[in-house]
């Protein structure tokens, strides 16, 4: 079973201090009147929607006109947040509130402030009316159950969730092994030869003798050691995945794997050490770019653009997707890049997850208990939440056949069919774009069966990025979120205190491990790394707190 928790979002930290006043006016569980206050009074054709973010708004946009004049027959007037979001929310909840409805990134802090303000309507009854609101009734029940308070009340309409939580859309997966097929051909090898780690090593050895157009010997392997990367987003994670190490999480404090019935936190996985031992061996054998530890991002991209690297490991966005997106044929080295499945490593049965997908809602729609337009609000979100694979596209760009259409068949490629709409939509100017669409995709949901921007009818080179991410998402490094992926740092706890030092230790020792002069020095450096984890980052204490937090989380579920 998949689990999900409310993400605090990017504004949660600021809201935590500024929303204190909003929470002083009453209890979260005080129910509205049986008639829903003034909300039940009707109003089924128009409402105001406050966006919890800044945006360029044009309420006469083409998509909004279609909503009003056609399906769903509702006029939606949008209002963006001006200035600081936390301040704006705090001000409204302590004065007159918002007029009809408000949509915010999912956040425990926002939810708590909304409930305690006593200015919102509980909505649980409307999710159980399939005859009247089939879209709302189609929301996966596990999402709704997780939203209930102790009285069984639900205080928002969830949006931007996966329609199939057991088969979630993997997102823009990009952690991969990326080979130059022209170099592969030059050394007389095929993609099948790269299926194992030994095969990869043979390729790297062969590529080391290949020269580029300038007569320089190629760097067999390259990856970016960006000083600004994180534990969950760095190029080494693609190598760790091949060795079976989980490096992704769903907002948790540390990547965790469940192996043989036990939880294994990242640095305790023996394969973590094995992966860096292999990197050290490749470095000593001169099969890794000797400048890998010191290269800056722009220098790394320039090497890839000029064709200096035979194999890249990590995020293909770091390689720079523009290297192939701008091409229409084999005119530059970037044309020959191709993603490769994670090579089989002896003793590894399962690829480690480098991306953990949380299918749970990312946004919440709150309804003012004083709104006179409840019916219009429910009607609109019942429409946006229809469980169709293309629904996010319908909400963002209008229904098929109006401004856009299928190129070949439904759930295949698509293109814009209205030239005037397309010109404004793709102008690159926010004001012009707002005249055609408010880009309210987050009011809908999504589905793994079809993703619009993987199927947009564009140039051959530009299509490669979506083709790559689709392939990478199916290579075993992406999985759905489990409860243990979501253990957060407790306020005032050890993870909050020592987490930054833990990350400092990782960045400090990864270079030392890769560049160790021999196996003996590697072992010495590894022991120093483990010692630093304990003495500087309090690793054992962090693990104990993680277990305590996980047990508490499990008990709540």
- Say if residues 51 and 392 touch (Cβ distance below 8 Å): no
Nearest to 238 by CA among 340, 308, 334: 340
Sign of the torsion formed by the C-alpha atoms of 414, 417, 418 and 420:
positive
Instruction: List Cβ neighbours of 167 (8 Å cut-off, separation of 6 or more).
Output: 448
Which residues of the chain fall short of a pLDDT of 70? 1-43
Same domain, 498 and 385: no
Q: pLDDT at position 43, please?
A: 59
- Say if residues 272 and 266 touch (Cβ distance below 8 Å): yes
**Angstrom distance (rounded) from CA 133 to CA 126:** 7
Helix (H, G, I), strand (E, B) or coil at 369: coil
Q: pLDDT at position 20, please?
A: 35
Q: pLDDT at position 336, please?
A: 97
Q: What percent of the chain has pLDDT over 90?
A: 82
Q: Is 153 a domain residue? A: yes
Residue 262: phi, psi to the nearest 5?
-125, 150
Report CA Rg, the chain.
26
**Angstrom distance (rounded) from CA 368 to CA 119:** 6
Q: Which residue has the tokens 């003034």?
A: 38
Q: What is the CATH number of the domain that holds 544?
A: 3.40.190.10
Same domain, 375 and 444: yes
Helix axes 539-556, 519-535, angle to 10 degrees: 60
Q: Is 13 a domain residue? A: no
Q: What is the DSSP letter of 31?
A: P
Nearest to 498 by CA among 539, 438, 551, 440: 539
The residue length of the chain stands at: 557
Q: Is 433 a domain residue? A: yes
- Say if residues 482 and 358 touch (Cβ distance below 8 Å): no
Same domain, 393 and 468: no
Same domain, 476 and 519: yes
My answer on whether omega of the bond before 72 falls inside 30° of 0, hence cis, is yes
Q: Is 22 a domain residue? A: no
Mind listing the pLDDT tens digit for each residue in 253-269? 999 999 999 999 999 99
Q: Which residue has the tokens 């939810």?
A: 111
Domain boundary among 452, 480, 506: 452
Mind listing the pLDDT tens digit for each residue in 530-557? 999 999 999 999 999 999 999 998 887 7
Residue 460, Cα to own-chain centre: how many angstroms? 26
Residue 114: phi, psi to the nearest 5?
-60, -45
Q: How many domains does the chain have?
A: 2
- How many angstroms separate the Cα of 378 from the Cα of each of 58, 263, 381? 23, 43, 5
Q: pLDDT at position 82, please?
A: 85
**Angstrom distance (rounded) from CA 386 to CA 137:** 9
Which element (helix H / strand E) includes 260? none
**Angstrom distance (rounded) from CA 29 to CA 325:** 53
Q: pLDDT at position 341, please?
A: 98
E strands in 260-402: 262-265, 309-315, 337-340, 355-357, 363-367
Q: Is 4 a domain residue? A: no
Same domain, 438 and 513: no
Sign of the torsion formed by the C-alpha atoms of 169, 173, 177 and 182:
positive
- Say if residues 158 and 138 touch (Cβ distance below 8 Å): no
Which element (helix H / strand E) includes 35? none
Mind listing the pLDDT tens digit for each residue in 335-346? 999 999 999 999
Q: Is 241 a domain residue? A: yes
Domain boundary among 452, 479, 505: 452
Q: Is 412 a domain residue? A: yes
Strand order in the sheet with 46-51: 75-79, 46-51, 101-105, 363-367, 157-159
Q: pLDDT at position 459, please?
A: 81
Same domain, 295 and 149: no
- Say if residues 292 and 272 touch (Cβ distance below 8 Å): no
Structural domain containing residue 513: 175-357+462-555
Tokens matching residue 15:
């809201």
Same domain, 276 and 415: no
Same domain, 202 and 350: yes
Same domain, 53 and 191: no
Helix axes 519-535, 494-514, angle to 10 degrees: 170
Instruction: List Cβ neighbours of 34 (8 Å cut-off, separation of 6 or more).
Output: none
Domain boundary among 425, 452, 479: 452
Residue 158 forms beta bridges with which residues?
Answer: 364
Q: pLDDT at position 80, please?
A: 95
Same domain, 389 and 296: no
Mind listing the pLDDT tens digit for each residue in 466-500? 999 999 999 999 998 999 999 999 889 999 999 99
Report the alpha-carbon angle 262-265-267, nearest 5: 135
Q: Is 438 a domain residue? A: yes
Same domain, 237 and 327: yes
Same domain, 189 and 325: yes
CB atoms inside a 10 Å sphere around CB 439: 17
**Angstrom distance (rounded) from CA 169 to CA 470:** 10
**Angstrom distance (rounded) from CA 302 to CA 316:** 14
């Amino acid at each position: 079973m998949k689990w999900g928790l409310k993400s605090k979002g990017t504004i949660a930290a600021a809201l935590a201090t500024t929303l204190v006043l909003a929470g002083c006016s009453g209890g979260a569980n005080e129910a509205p009147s049986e008639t829903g206050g003034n909300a039940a009074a009707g109003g089924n054709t128009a409402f105001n929607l406050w966006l919890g973010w800044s945006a360029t708004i044009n309420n006469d946009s083409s998509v909004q006109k279609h909503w009003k004049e056609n399906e769903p027959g509702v006029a939606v007037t949008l209002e963006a947040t001006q200035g600081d979001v936390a301040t704006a929310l705090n001000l409204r909840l302590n004065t007159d509130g918002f007029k009809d409805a408000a949509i915010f990134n999912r956040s425990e802090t926002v939810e708590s402030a909304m409930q305690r303000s006593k200015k919102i309507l509980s909505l649980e009854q409307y999710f159980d009316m399939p005859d009247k609101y089939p879209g709302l009734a189609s929301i996966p029940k596990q999402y709704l159950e997780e939203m209930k308070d102790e009285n069984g009340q639900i205080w928002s309409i969830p949006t931007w969730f996966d329609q199939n939580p057991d088969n979630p859309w993997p997102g823009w997966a990009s952690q991969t092994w990326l080979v130059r097929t022209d170099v592969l051909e030059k050394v007389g090898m095929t993609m099948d030869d790269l299926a194992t780690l030994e095969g990869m090593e043979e390729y790297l050895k062969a590529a080391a003798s290949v020269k580029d157009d300038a007569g320089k010997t190629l760097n067999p392997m390259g990856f970016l050691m960006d000083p600004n990367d994180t534990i969950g987003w760095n190029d080494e994670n693609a190598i760790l995945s091949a060795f079976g190490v989980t490096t992704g999480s769903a907002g948790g404090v540390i990547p965790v794997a469940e192996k043989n019935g036990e939880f294994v936190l990242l640095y305790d996985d023996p394969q973590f050490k094995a992966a860096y031992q292999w990197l050290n061996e490749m470095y000593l054998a001169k099969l890794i770019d000797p400048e890998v530890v010191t290269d800056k991002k722009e220098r790394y991209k320039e090497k890839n653009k000029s064709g200096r690297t035979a194999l890249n490991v990590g995020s293909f966005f770091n390689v720079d997707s523009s290297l192939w997106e701008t091409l229409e044929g084999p005119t530059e080295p970037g044309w020959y890049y191709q993603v490769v499945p994670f090579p089989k490593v002896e003793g590894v049965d399962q690829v480690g997850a480098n991306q953990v997908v949380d299918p749970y809602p990312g946004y919440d729609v709150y309804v003012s208990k004083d709104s006179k337009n409840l019916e219009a609000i429910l009607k609109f979100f019942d429409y946006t939440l229809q469980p169709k694979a293309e629904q996010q596209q319908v909400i963002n760009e209008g229904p098929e056949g109006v401004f856009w259409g299928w190129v070949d068949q439904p759930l295949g490629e698509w293109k814009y069919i209205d030239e005037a709409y397309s010109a404004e939509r793709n102008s690159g100017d926010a004001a012009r774009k707002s005249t055609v669409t408010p880009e309210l995709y987050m009011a809908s949901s999504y589905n793994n069966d079809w993703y619009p921007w993987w199927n947009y009818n564009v140039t051959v080179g530009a299509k490669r990025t979506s083709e790559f991410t689709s392939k990478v998402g199916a290579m075993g490094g992406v999985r759905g979120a489990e409860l243990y992926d979501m253990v957060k740092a407790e306020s005032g706890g050890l993870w909050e205190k020592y987490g930054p030092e833990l990350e400092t230790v990782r960045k400090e020792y990864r270079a030392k491990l890769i560049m160790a002069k021999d196996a003996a020095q590697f072992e010495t450096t590894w022991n120093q790394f483990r010692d630093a984890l304990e003495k500087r980052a309090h690793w054992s204490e962090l693990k104990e707190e993680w277990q305590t937090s996980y047990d508490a989380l499990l008990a709540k579920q």
